[in-house]
C-alpha cells in the first residue's frame, strides 16, 4: 500500500494507541470508509479492501466491540494532524506573570500610571502579581498595603479577577490577579476598531484621494510608555531599600 509491500513487515510506526494494517490482530472489526459505515467484517477482508484502494486500515476505537477501523491514507492523516498541532501551538499564547510594585502611600498619579500597565498586561493575556513593598515601620500598618491592593482591584474589576488573595512575604504584601475570560479577544477587537477609525479619519482628511502605491495610512499613535517593561514601571520602588535608615529616620530625635 502506498508504495510499500503490505503484510507483517510494514515497519511504519503508528501513533500511540493506533494500530494499522497487519498490526490489527482481532478477527472482526467495524469498518468506516469515507464517512460511510461498511458494517462488521472479517479483518482480512477489510485489509484486502484497503489494499485494493491503495489505502491503510487504521484502528481508531480499539476499545469498542468490535473495534472500529477506518480505511484511509495514514500518511496524509499524520501530516494533517501534525499541521493541526503546529497551528494550535502558534495560537496558544504563553501566559506570563508580570509584577508591578507599589508603596503603601502610592500617590494618585503613580497609581494611575501603574494601573494603566496592569491593565495592559492583563489585556495581553498575562497574570499580574501586585506587590506592596513596605519599608521601616510601615510594616506595622498592613492595612495601608491592603488599601492599595483593593484600589488596584477596583480599577481593574472590569477585566480582572483575583487569583491569589493578599498574603505577606517578608516585607512584601502579594496578590495575584488574572484576566477574565474574553478579555484578550475584546482588547484585540478594540485595537482593530481603533486602527480602522484612524484609517477612515486619515482618508477623510485626504479628501477621499486614493492612496498612492506603496503608501499606507499611518497607524494610530501609541503612548510612548506603552511598551515599558516591568523594571521601568517599578523603577520608583526598590525591594532592597536600607530598612535600618528608615527605622532610624522614624525614631524620635534626641
Q: Tell me the DSSP string of 51-82.
A: HHTT-EEEEEETTSSSPEEEEE-HHHHHHHHH
Domains 19-88 and 97-182+227-234 share a fold: no
The confidence score (pLDDT) of residue 244 equals 45
Question: 244, 246, 242, 239: which is closest to 138 by C-alpha?
Answer: 246
- 151, 111 Cβ separation under 8 angstroms: yes
- 142, 173 Cβ separation under 8 angstroms: yes
- Each of the 254 residues of the chain gets a pLDDT tens digit; together they read 444 444 443 444 444 557 899 899 899 999 999 888 999 999 999 999 999 999 999 998 888 889 999 999 998 888 888 888 877 776 665 678 999 999 999 999 999 999 999 999 999 999 999 999 999 999 999 999 999 999 999 999 999 999 999 999 999 999 999 999 999 888 888 888 888 888 888 778 766 554 454 444 445 555 556 678 888 899 888 775 444 444 444 444 44
- 31, 71 Cβ separation under 8 angstroms: yes
Q: CA-CA distance, 194 to 217, in Å (whole number)?
A: 13
Classify burial at 152, counting beta carbons within 10 Å of its beta carbon; exposed 0-12, middle 13-18, buried 19 or more: buried
Q: Count of H helices and E strands in the chain? A: 7, 9
Does domain 19-88 match CATH 1.10.10.10?
A: no
- 12, 22 Cβ separation under 8 angstroms: no
Q: Enumerate the domain spans of the chain.
A: 19-88, 97-182+227-234
The confidence score (pLDDT) of residue 184 equals 87
The confidence score (pLDDT) of residue 229 equals 84
Q: CA-CA distance, 128 to 17, in Å (whole number)?
A: 40
Predicted TM-score of the model (pTM): 0.53
The confidence score (pLDDT) of residue 96 equals 86
Residue 180's φ and ψ, nearest 5 degrees, are: -70, 160
The confidence score (pLDDT) of residue 233 equals 92
The confidence score (pLDDT) of residue 131 equals 97
According to CATH, the superfamily of the domain at 97-182+227-234 is Translation initiation factor 3 (IF-3), C-terminal domain (3.30.110.10)
* Residue 90 β-bridge partners: none
Amino acid at each position: 500500500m502506498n508504495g510499500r509491500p503490505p503484510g507483517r513487515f510494514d515497519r511504519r510506526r503508528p501513533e500511540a494507541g493506533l494500530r494499522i494494517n497487519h498490526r490489527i490482530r482481532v478477527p472482526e472489526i467495524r469498518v468506516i470508509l469515507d464517512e460511510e459505515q461498511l458494517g462488521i467484517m472479517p479483518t482480512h477482508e477489510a485489509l484486502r479492501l484497503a489494499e485494493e484502494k491503495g489505502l491503510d486500515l487504521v484502528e481508531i476505537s480499539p476499545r469498542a466491540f468490535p473495534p472500529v477501523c477506518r480505511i484511509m491514507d495514514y500518511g496524509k492523516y499524520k501530516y494533517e494532524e501534525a499541521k493541526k498541532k503546529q497551528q494550535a501551538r502558534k495560537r496558544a499564547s504563553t501566559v506570563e506573570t508580570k509584577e508591578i510594585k507599589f508603596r503603601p502611600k502610592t500617590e494618585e498619579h503613580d497609581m494611575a500610571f501603574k494601573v494603566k500597565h496592569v491593565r495592559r498586561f492583563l489585556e495581553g493575556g498575562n497574570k499580574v502579581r501586585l506587590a506592596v513593598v513596605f519599608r521601616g515601620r510601615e510594616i506595622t500598618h498592613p492595612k495601608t498595603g491592603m488599601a492599595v491592593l483593593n484600589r488596584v482591584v477596583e480599577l481593574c474589576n472590569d477585566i480582572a479577577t483575583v487569583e491569589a488573595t493578599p498574603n505577606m512575604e517578608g516585607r512584601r504584601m502579594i496578590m495575584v490577579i488574572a484576566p477574565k475570560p474574553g478579555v484578550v479577544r475584546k482588547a484585540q477587537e478594540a485595537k482593530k476598531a481603533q486602527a480602522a477609525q484612524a484609517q477612515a479619519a486619515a482618508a477623510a482628511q485626504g479628501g477621499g484621494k486614493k492612496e498612492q502605491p506603496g503608501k499606507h495610512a499611518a497607524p494610530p499613535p501609541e503612548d510612548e510608555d506603552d511598551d515599558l517593561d516591568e523594571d521601568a514601571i517599578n523603577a520608583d520602588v526598590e525591594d532592597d531599600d536600607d530598612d535600618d535608615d528608615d527605622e532610624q529616620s522614624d525614631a524620635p530625635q534626641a
